[in-house]
Each structure stands twice: as structure tokens, then as C-alpha cells.
């Protein structure tokens, strides 16, 4: 790493060891529990789709019918019913919904055959995910890979058809990643809406049909432009593993998939969230999806200068959870943000210090850097300049996924022309500074190096404290984002079940087994700014 600050390596070791211990402690809880959405995702992996006569998803109907059986997993009674009725998974789900078929505990004499058949079905389900991943790899090779950092922009009108039109326009203007913001509060729904949608408030519903439509639109414009356009949505909230399943089947490329975001910012039960994030990340890992974590949100509720170390702590924790869920380094898009008060003297110097620290702590990861939002002014010209400093900091420190700020962000939902101006801003700064990182060095003992090591030390100390008291207790004390949560409170706690000795779900083993390694590579991929500039 040509351009680097000297970090206290003993602090790095202490932080990573503490985060690993924290994750191992939570993993024991994960391994002892399941949730209703985990079991619903299992049914989706079998290929079940659709709704009943009153628009309740069939997977919800089946899990509710088998609720007393969930400590043993939904797979054994469901597959047993498939075998006894000689029907497909979809037909059995429809039969249960109509009351024509009933789930029941599996007798001992049928158990071995049921588990064998369930394992075969799990392999078939994972094979469908593998086929979608191979198709992505083929398309990237055929169409081409954009030069990094990825230019990431948001669309969200509520109408999926309008979203597709706006996404194509953004891609033509230079966007590489399109994120479709979910409609307000969808994360609190304990079901996934079905079908395409043309209405939504503050965003668009995340549904499998909406995923399919947007994917088709981006493939069309990507072929026109000669570069693969990535699609991002949100595997978070009360249906994390279900939305991850939908994304895997419809070839999403990135998913917001944080281990603690739902707890802190949506008051979702923490016991449930940790269980759900595990299966969702196993699915994303197998599907070749890049996850994005949400540490940027911490700095909207806590001060970025004083509490920047909490972002680093959480990045270490998210890394530990991600590695335990089989994600490869190129899939771990840890998050951070440019959120200090612009009135602060040397704001950009301190932002560079924080960004460079995270880049060096996680050199193999495609870090996602979030733009300023908390202090964006109503003055669009000043806002555009602040966004430009964000873009400059990102290219200088080798960030790979740059979510662009919008000059009208503090005024209204950005319009198409606002995205165009933001993309133009970013493209100019990225190209104008393409090799700057390789041409400059940081002053030893200077502001940047001192700030980075101070943040690192505070993060390591916080992680060691969390290791001592446990992550549940740390969250209850508000140690992240200054938000306190009750370990037994929050939405969705009634959907958590301690598993029995007979719990059986072969998807966990099949998702981990024989993983497909490697990122998709195009015929002439652009090198990242970090590599060109000597960052990694």
C-alpha cells in the first residue's frame, strides 16, 4: 500500500479478536434458534410463490398452519406432506391454504426418508441460485465491467415502471449501480407483498416481480451501454432471509444487509434480527451478491467527530458476522459515511483520516461510502460543493462503492436532472483525481495519522467492553448510534423459536457446501482507483 498511514497494529489485532469473540457469542444464540421468516424463506427456496384468496403470501399461510411444529423446522412436516400426497411444493402450499391438506409431525418410521428427500429438494433449490449466479458471471463477461469506484444512485417513485425509466436514464448518465429504495416502513411488515406495484410512499415495494422487472430493464440498458449495471435492494427488516431469497432468484447484485441496523433504527427484536441475518447472508454469499452494511446511519443520530469510532467498531462486528456466513471478501461492502459538520475546521482532513483508516483496516473489501445528508443545507450550490468534497475523499482513499449525494437532498425528492448533475460531478472528480492517491503521502504524525489511530484505539476499547458485557447488553445501553433497545422488546419477538433436538433444515448445510468462489469478471475490467493509486 503506497499511500498509507501508520496504524497501531496491536490495536487492530485487539479489535478484530474482540469482534470475533462477540460474533461467536451471538452465533451460539443463532444456532439455538429459528424464526418464522427463516422458515418462510425455506419454503421460498423450495419454489413456493403466490398468495391465497385474500392476498396473504402462501409461505405465511403454511408457516402459520405449522406454527407449533417450527421448533423442529418446517421442512420435515412439509416434505412429508409432499411425499404422502405426491404433490409439488407449490400444490401442497395451495392445498394447505385451502384447508385440503394439513401439516403434522413426522412419525419416526418416516423420518429418514423425509430427511433424504428434503436434502434432495434443498440441493435443487441451491442449484437454482447457482444457475442465476453463473448467468451474472456470463453477462459481466459478455457486456463488460465499469471502472471503479461504482457510481451508485437511488430511484424510488413507488411505481416500478417509472423506476425502470428513471434507472435507465441514470445508467445512461453514468450510474453503475441502481438502488431501489423500499417504500416507507416495509421493513416492519412481517410478510413480503406480492406482484408488481405502482404505488408507494417514499419508495417502491420490494417484491419479486418488481425485482424481475427492474433486472430486465437494467440488462437492456447495460447491453446498450456496454457495461453491466448492478441492481441493489434491501434484505433487512422482518423478512431479511425472504428478500435475500428473492434477490438471489432474480439476480440482484447488491443488498443492504446489516447485522444490527434493524435493531437500532427499526426497533426490531434483536434476538430475531441476529438469527435472520445469518440465513440472509448465507443466501447472499451463495448467490454472489455484495452486501452493504449500514454504519453510515450511526452518524445521523450521533456526532460524526465524537462517535466515529462506533462506525469502526460496527464494521469489525459486521465483518465477523459476514465471515461466519460464508461471504467472501469481495462481497463484504462495509459501510461508513462523510457526515461531519461542514462548519468544523479541517472537516475534510478528518473525513480523509476516517475514510483512510477504514480502507486500510479492510483492504480487500468493496467499501461503501455514504454521502453527506445530516448537514445538507437548503442552498443547493453549497450542497453541491459538499458533495464534491465527499467525492474527492472517496477517490483519494480508494472507496469502491460511492453512493452519490444530491444537491436538492434537503429540499425534495431528487429529480432526474438532480441525479444527472450529481453523476456529472462525481465523474469529473473521479477522472480528474484518478491517480492522485499514488502521487501523495500522508505526513507521519500529522493530523490524519493521529486522528486515525485515536479512532482505532477507541474502537478497540469499545469492542473489548462489548466483549465483556455482551452485544445484547451493549445495544440496550445505546453504545451504537446513541439508540437504546430492549433485548426482549421490539417488533417480531413472537416469531423467534428455540429449536428442538429434532430440528432439521438441510438448506443451511447446502448453502455452505461447495461454494462457488470468485467475483464475476468482465473481459476488460477497469481497475479500481485504489489499485491504480496504490491503495490496495
Q: Could you report the per-residue pLDDT of 370-392, keeping only the tens digit for each?
A: 999 999 999 999 999 999 999 99
Question: Are the C-beta atoms of 274 and 26 separated by less than 8 Å?
Answer: yes
**pLDDT, position 324:** 97
Catalytic residue among 150, 354, 368, 369: 368
Q: CATH number, domain at 273? A: 3.20.20.440
Catalytic residue among 150, 261, 365, 503: 261
379 is catalytic: no
296 is catalytic: yes
Catalytic residue among 36, 163, 258, 296: 296
What mean pLDDT do residues 270-296 have?
A: 97
Whether 20 is covered by a domain: the verdict is no
Rounded to 5 degrees, what are φ and ψ at 260? Answer: -130, -5
Whether 7 is covered by a domain: the verdict is no
Q: 521 pLDDT band (50/70/90 cuts)?
A: low
261 is catalytic: yes
Q: Give residue for cell 489485532.
A: 13
**pLDDT, position 522:** 57
Whether 418 is covered by a domain: the verdict is yes
Q: How big, in percent rounded to 5, are the helix, strand and coil portions of the chain?
A: 55, 10, 35
Whether 483 is covered by a domain: the verdict is no
Contacts of 291 (CB under 8 A, 6+ apart): 235, 254, 255, 256, 257, 281, 284, 322, 327, 331, 332, 333
Taking 70 as the threshold, does the pLDDT of residue 533 lie above it? Answer: no
**pLDDT, position 530:** 31
Rounded to 5 degrees, what are φ and ψ at 316? Answer: -60, -40
**pLDDT, position 415:** 81
Taking 60 as the threshold, does the pLDDT of residue 523 lie above it? Answer: no
Taking 60 as the threshold, does the pLDDT of residue 121 lie above it? Answer: yes
Q: How many domains does the chain have?
A: 1
Q: What is the pTM of this model?
A: 0.95
What mean pLDDT do residues 500-525 have?
A: 80
Question: Are the C-beta atoms of 166 and 413 separated by less than 8 Å?
Answer: no
Taking 70 as the threshold, does the pLDDT of residue 323 lie above it? Answer: yes
Question: Are the C-beta atoms of 9 and 17 separated by less than 8 Å?
Answer: no
CB atoms within 10 A of CB 215: 18
Query: Can you tell me the distance from the alpha carbon of 395 to that of 390, in angstroms, rounded to the nearest whole number?
Result: 9
Whether 23 is covered by a domain: the verdict is no
Whether 403 is covered by a domain: the verdict is yes
Query: Can you tell me the distance from the alpha carbon of 191 to that of 189, in angstroms, rounded to the nearest whole number?
Result: 5
Q: Could you report the per-residue pLDDT of 75-117, keeping only the tens digit for each?
A: 999 999 999 999 999 999 999 999 999 999 999 999 999 999 9
Whether 184 is covered by a domain: the verdict is yes
* 3-state secondary structure (DSSP) of residue 3: coil
Question: Are the C-beta atoms of 145 and 526 separated by less than 8 Å?
Answer: yes
* 3-state secondary structure (DSSP) of residue 290: strand
Find the domain containing 343 and state its range: 147-434
Q: 2 pLDDT band (50/70/90 cuts)?
A: low
Handedness of CA 295, 299, 302, 303 (dihedral sign): positive
Whether 262 is covered by a domain: the verdict is yes
For 28, the grid coordinates are 451460539
**pLDDT, position 524:** 37
Amino acid at each position: 500500500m503506497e499511500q498509507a498511514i501508520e496504524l497501531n497494529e496491536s490495536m487492530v489485532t485487539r479489535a478484530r479478536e474482540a469482534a470475533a469473540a462477540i460474533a461467536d457469542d451471538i452465533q451460539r444464540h443463532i444456532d439455538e434458534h429459528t424464526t418464522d421468516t427463516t422458515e418462510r424463506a425455506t419454503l421460498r427456496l423450495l419454489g413456493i410463490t403466490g398468495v391465497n384468496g385474500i392476498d396473504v403470501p402462501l409461505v405465511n399461510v403454511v408457516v402459520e398452519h405449522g406454527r407449533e411444529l417450527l421448533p423442529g423446522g418446517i421442512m420435515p412436516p412439509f416434505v412429508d406432506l409432499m411425499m404422502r400426497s405426491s404433490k409439488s411444493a407449490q400444490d401442497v402450499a395451495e392445498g394447505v391454504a385451502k384447508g385440503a391438506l394439513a401439516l403434522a409431525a413426522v412419525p419416526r418410521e418416516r423420518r429418514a426418508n423425509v430427511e433424504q428427500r428434503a436434502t434432495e429438494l434443498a440441493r435443487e433449490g441451491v442449484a437454482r441460485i447457482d444457475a442465476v449466479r453463473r448467468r451474472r458471471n456470463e453477462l459481466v463477461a459478455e457486456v463488460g465491467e465499469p471502472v471503479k469506484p461504482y457510481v451508485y444512485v437511488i430511484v424510488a417513485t413507488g411505481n416500478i415502471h417509472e423506476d425502470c425509466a428513471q434507472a435507465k436514464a441514470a445508467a445512461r448518465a453514468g450510474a453503475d449501480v441502481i438502488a431501489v429504495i423500499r417504500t416507507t416502513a416495509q421493513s416492519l411488515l412481517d410478510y413480503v407483498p406480492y406482484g408488481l406495484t405502482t404505488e408507494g410512499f417514499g419508495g417502491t415495494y420490494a417484491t419479486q416481480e418488481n425485482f424481475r422487472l427492474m433486472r430486465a430493464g437494467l440488462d437492456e440498458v447495460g447491453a446498450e451501454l456496454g457495461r453491466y449495471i448492478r441492481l441493489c435492494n434491501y434484505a433487512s427488516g422482518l423478512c431479511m432471509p425472504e428478500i435475500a431469497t428473492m434477490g438471489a432468484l432474480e439476480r440482484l447484485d447488491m443488498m443492504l444487509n446489516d447485522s444490527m441496523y434493524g435493531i437500532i433504527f427499526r426497533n426490531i427484536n434483536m434476538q430475531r434480527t441476529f438469527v435472520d441475518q445469518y440465513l440472509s447472508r448465507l443466501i447472499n454469499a451463495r448467490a454472489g451478491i455484495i452486501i452493504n452494511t449500514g454504519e453510515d446511519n450511526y452518524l445521523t443520530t450521533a456526532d460524526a467527530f465524537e462517535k466515529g469510532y462506533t462506525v469502526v467498531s460496527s464494521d469489525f462486528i459486521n465483518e465477523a458476522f459476514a465471515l461466519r456466513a460464508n461471504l467472501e471478501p469481495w462481497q463484504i461492502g462495509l459501510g461508513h459515511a462523510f457526515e461531519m459538520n461542514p462548519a468544523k475546521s479541517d472537516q475534510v482532513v478528518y473525513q480523509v483520516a476516517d475514510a483512510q483508516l477504514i480502507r486500510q483496516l479492510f483492504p480487500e473489501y468493496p467499501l461503501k461510502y455514504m454521502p453527506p445528508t445530516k448537514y445538507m443545507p437548503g442552498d443547493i450550490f453549497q450542497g453541491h460543493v459538499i458533495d464534491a468534497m465527499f467525492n474527492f475523499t472517496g477517490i483519494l482513499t480508494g472507496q469502491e462503492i460511492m453512493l452519490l449525494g444530491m444537491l436538492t437532498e434537503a429540499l425534495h425528492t431528487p429529480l432526474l436532472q438532480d441525479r444527472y448533475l450529481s453523476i456529472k460531478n462525481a465523474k469529473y472528480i473521479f477522472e480528474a483525481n484518478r491517480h492522485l492517491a499514488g502521487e501523495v503521502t500522508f505526513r507521519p504524525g500529522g493530523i490524519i495519522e493521529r486522528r486515525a489511530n485515536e479512532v482505532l484505539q477507541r474502537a478497540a476499547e469499545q469492542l473489548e467492553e462489548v466483549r465483556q458485557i455482551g452485544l445484547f447488553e451493549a445495544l440496550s445501553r445505546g453504545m451504537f448510534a446513541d439508540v437504546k433497545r430492549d433485548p426482549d422488546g421490539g417488533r417480531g419477538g413472537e416469531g423467534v423459536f428455540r429449536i428442538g433436538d429434532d430440528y432439521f433444515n438441510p438448506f443451511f448445510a447446502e448453502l455452505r457446501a461447495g461454494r462457488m468462489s470468485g467475483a464475476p469478471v468482465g473481459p476488460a475490467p477497469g481497475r479500481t482507483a485504489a489499485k491504480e493509486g496504490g491503495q490496495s
